[in-house]
Amino acid sequence: MTSKTIELSLDEIFNLAKASLLKHGANEENADAVANTVTNAERDGSLSHGLFRIPGYIKALQSKKVDGSAKPEIKEVTPTIFRCDAKNGFAPLAHKYSLKPLIEAAHKFGIAGVAIQRSHHFAALWPEVETISENGLVGLTSVSYTPAVAPAGGTTALFGTNPMSFAWPRPGKNPIVFDMATSSMAKGEIQIAARDGHSVPLGTGLSSSGELTTDASEIDKGVLLPFGGHKGSVIALMIELLSGPLVGETFSYETKERDNGDGGPVQGGQFILALSPEICSGKDTSDQIEQFINKYNEIDGVRLPGARRHKNREDNGPRQVNAELINTVIRLRDES
């Protein structure tokens, strides 16, 4: 089944997203940061983190789970460790406040980290690490969520879909960047497949009765599986630790316990690490990196991670957006 789409320019996407957030109580600064993240996701073809997320952001504003006027606070704990209290606000503004001191410290000391607390993350992770790499640094981050993924061998969800993202700088070029859920498929992708009536590969998840199925709507009601069997499962476990206790925040199951279940982004933590290749290696390694990428690209059938999104980004033209979704967001914007 192919769903109907409507053409919107990137400016129209931004304005629609921002106006709908403002309408439901976000202040200018928060609405701007979230709308920017949503628009960049549509621009890059990361559809499960574009306008698709606006109804969820708005549910969280309506239920007052998220403070749409939050002003994040950054504390320098040591010269290389920062703690950001997102003040119960949306993650994009916490990133805006955190990344500048993080990048400055990594340039000065070679390594720096920020522990983000009380943040509501509902987006892709590449915007954080790409910003770090655009500033000549390596970026690494992860977040947990609420239980949706069964550890390898099990049928009960304990891990979130726990994405991680990594970016390596390439002066004058797009960074090498990957951004992936550690579940076999991101939850948003399952929801979109369920909405559009598409099936998914066997091994993606289990139905509510614990059976393997290709039916996305059955998996949406059941559990996802980790990517790569036990190997993905142990990485998801690491992300539970890095995004929870390391930053003074919750595991996915604890996050769920305190959430009000409104369907909007849950409150949780995030650790972001920045590293300077120059300071670590003591030299300029950019020629070595480019030679490696040439070798990589010489192999038939391969492409760099991030290349799909970066290609989409070259097109500044309008985007095709699901018509039903646009109508939903317009209704939210125009609610009295």
* The only residue of 55, 110, 305, 318 in contact with ligand NDP, by rule CB under 6 A: 305
Considering the complex, what minimum distance in angstroms separates the CB of residue 328 from ligand NDP?
A: 20
**Whole-angstrom Cα distance, residue 163 to residue 226?**
11
Determine if 224 is a binding residue for ligand NDP (CB under 6 A): no
Q: Residues near 255 by Cβ (< 8 Å), separated by ≥ 6?
A: 144, 145, 146, 160, 249, 266, 267, 268
Q: Which is nearer to ligand NDP, 32 or 44 (CB)?
A: 44
Q: Which of 48, 183, 184, 252 is catalytic?
A: 48
Residue with Cβ nearer ligand NDP (9 or 296): 296
Only segment of 102-110, 191-199, 303-311, 314-322 that touches ligand NDP (CB under 6 A): 303-311
Nearer to ligand NDP, 268 or 277 (CB): 268
Which lies closer to ligand NDP via its Cβ, residue 67 or residue 179?
179
Rounded to an integer, what distance in angstroms lies between the CA atom of residue 116 and that of residue 17?
Answer: 25
Site residues for ligand NDP, window 35-64 (CB under 6 A)?
Answer: 46
Number of residues interacting with ligand NDP: please give it, by CB under 6 A: 25
95: annotated active-site residue = no
98 is known as an active-site residue: no
Residue count (the chain):
336
Contacts of 335 (CB under 8 A, 6+ apart): 23
Residue 309 binds to ligand NDP (criterion: CB under 6 A): yes
- Whole-number minimum distance, CB 143 to ligand NDP, in Å? 5
Which two three-digit tokens encode residue 244?
């929870």
CA distance 127 to 66: 21
Q: Which of 307, 313, 318, 328 binds ligand NDP (CB under 6 A)?
A: 307
Among 132, 143, 239, 247, binds ligand NDP (CB under 6 A): 143
Query: In this complex, which beta carbon is closest to ligand NDP, that of residue 20 or of residue 182?
Result: 182
User: Known catalytic residue: 104?
Assistant: no
E strand map for the chain: 5-8, 73-78, 81-90, 111-120, 138-143, 164-168, 176-180, 205-206, 223-224, 267-275, 319-322
Q: Pick the closest to residue 289 from 297, 178, 107 (CA basis).
A: 297
Picking from 252, 272, 257, the residue whose alpha carbon sits closest to that of residue 145 is: 252
Q: Cβ 275 to ligand NDP, closest distance in Å?
A: 19
Cα 143 versus chain centre, distance: 8
Strands (E) in 145-220, as ranges, are 164-168, 176-180, 205-206
User: Which residues sit at the interface with ligand NDP, rule CB under 6 A?
Assistant: 46, 121-126, 143, 145, 161, 163, 165, 178-181, 185-186, 189, 303, 305-309
- What are the catalytic residues? 48-49, 189
